[in-house]
Amino acid sequence: MSRPDAKGWCPGAYKPMMSGDGLVVRVRPVMARLAQEQVLGLCETAEAYGSGLIDLTSRANLQIRGVKEADHEAVLAALHHLDLLPDNPALEGRRNILIPPLWQDGDDTYRVATELVARLGELPGLPPKMGYAIDLQGGPQLSNKSADFRIERDTNGGLILRADGASRGRVVTVDNAVDALLDMARWFVDTNGPARRRMAAHVALSPLPAEWQAVPPAASQKPTEPGNTPLGAMFGVAFGQIEAAQLAHLVTATKAEAMRVTPWRLFLLEAAEMADTEAFITDTHDPLLHVDACPGAPLCNSATVETRQLARQLASQLPAPLHVSGCAKGCALPRPCATTLVGNSGAFDLVKNGRPWDAPVKTGLSPDILLEARGEL
């Protein structure tokens, strides 16, 4: 089965998306990092003009939820004041860059990512959801995250540029990696890639130049988990949903110097130690780390079911991983999962080892039936 039509673009700050609880305003922090005053200011903005909820997305962005249309300009003004909108509207929408969280000033990740940010204006016109992974902290950590252009380590520690969907990449250096990426972007456009929207779909039908398929990437490695790291404390966020007041309290209590966001529903507080908190995940064995659930009804107009309360109840009953989706679009996890529950006309369909839009093995399941199953689905 094919995926139902999803939005062809992601929300941004200048181009928010309407949801069931109001506008969703996305903030893309440069280098996935916010200074302490920016974090606290973002929390104040979310409480003053939104619902007080902030999403931590799978693209390492932050989203203020529940903004009234009349308050959008005030939110933009607040974000400008916090220096969270450092470029013009056209470039802000292109800044879809993933990086692992433990980069340091001047290292390869920093050098390549900052050059890419500075040269976003040189990119040709690409589909709005296309993105980039600068994945240079050892073996790739971002292989399962959405990116069309991937700069990674090879098995000898060198750098390659790999098109998403290709098993091998082009040898590059720190100094020419962005030039090579711009070459690949122009090839994508010149070979009618925008008609297929994403790099993997295009590569499946349009062969890459041979020299761009020379070297395989290093073996993937496990991402960082909650706990202390060399740069600070890493905390988890159930379903990626943060209460602004709770985040502000944690940042203040730990005296964190800055916050780094990740695409794994984790954030790092620089120069902070792990703290006892019921608001965030601190245990690497917490089953909620392996459960995906979209906002569901009533926060999403496409959903016909509540998702996150059920996901919490099922987390300890069903073997991980688990995905609870409000509809067949599967926005929280548009990939195969061992167990996927899909909202359909107020009940749930069960998909095993598939994607939300794949054929279900059971249909019409109520939350009560799912809870009574106790891991026997």
DSSP string, 199-227: HHHHHTTSPPPGGGGSBPBPPP-PPP-SE
168 and 241 belong to one structural domain = no
CB 267 within 8 A of CB 29: no
Q: Is residue 364 part of a domain?
A: yes
How many helices (H) and strands (E) the chain has is answered by 9, 20
Domain of residue 128, CATH code: 3.40.50
294 and 231 belong to one structural domain = no
Say what the pLDDT of residue 167 is. 96
CB 299 within 8 A of CB 21: yes
Say what the pLDDT of residue 377 is. 73
Say what the pLDDT of residue 2 is. 56
194 and 108 belong to one structural domain = yes
The DSSP element (H or E) to which 185 belongs, if any, is helix 177-190
Domain of residue 349, CATH code: 3.30.413.10
228 and 81 belong to one structural domain = yes
Say what the pLDDT of residue 332 is. 86
CA atoms within 13 A on the CB side of 214: 11
Q: Is residue 320 part of a domain?
A: yes
The DSSP element (H or E) to which 152 belongs, if any, is strand 149-153
Work out how many domains the chain is built from and give that number.
3
* Pairing of the two strands 132-135 and 149-153: parallel
115 and 201 belong to one structural domain = yes
Q: Is residue 180 part of a domain?
A: yes
207 and 229 belong to one structural domain = no
Q: Is residue 166 part of a domain?
A: yes
* This prediction's pTM: 0.91
Spatial separation of the C-alpha atoms in residues 358 and 154, rounded to whole Å: 34
Residues 6+ apart with CB under 8 A from 361: 350, 351, 352
Three-state SS for 166-182 is: CCCEEEECCCCHHHHHH
Say what the pLDDT of residue 52 is. 97
108 and 154 belong to one structural domain = yes
Local structure of 102: helix, strand or coil: coil
Q: Is residue 1 part of a domain?
A: no
209 and 245 belong to one structural domain = no
205 and 115 belong to one structural domain = yes
28 and 175 belong to one structural domain = no
111 and 169 belong to one structural domain = yes
Local structure of 297: helix, strand or coil: coil
Say what the pLDDT of residue 5 is. 52
Structural domain boundaries, residue 50: 17-90+224-270
Q: Is 121 exposed, middle or buried (0-12, 13-18, 19+ CB in 10 A)?
A: exposed
Q: How far is CA 204 from CA 16, 181, 210, in A?
A: 32, 19, 15
Domain C-terminal end among 213, 237, 254: 213
Print pLDDT tens along the chain (377 aa).
Answer: 555 555 555 688 999 999 888 999 999 999 999 999 999 999 999 999 999 999 999 999 999 999 999 999 999 999 999 999 988 888 888 899 999 999 999 999 999 999 999 999 999 999 988 999 999 999 999 999 999 999 999 999 999 999 999 999 999 999 999 999 999 999 999 999 999 999 999 999 999 999 999 999 999 999 899 999 999 999 999 999 999 999 999 999 999 999 999 999 999 999 999 999 999 999 999 999 989 999 898 888 889 999 999 999 998 888 778 999 999 998 888 889 999 999 999 999 999 999 999 999 999 999 998 888 766 77
Give the CA angle between residues 192, 357, 55 to the nearest 5°.
85
Q: Which of 88, 113, 87 is nearest to 100 (CA)?
A: 113
320 and 366 belong to one structural domain = yes
Q: Is residue 96 part of a domain?
A: no
Residues 6+ apart with CB under 8 A from 296: 303, 305, 306, 307, 308, 324, 326, 343
Q: Is 60 exposed, middle or buried (0-12, 13-18, 19+ CB in 10 A)?
A: buried
Q: Is residue 139 part of a domain?
A: yes
Q: Is residue 97 part of a domain?
A: no
Domain of residue 249, CATH code: 3.90.480.10
The DSSP element (H or E) to which 149 belongs, if any, is strand 149-153
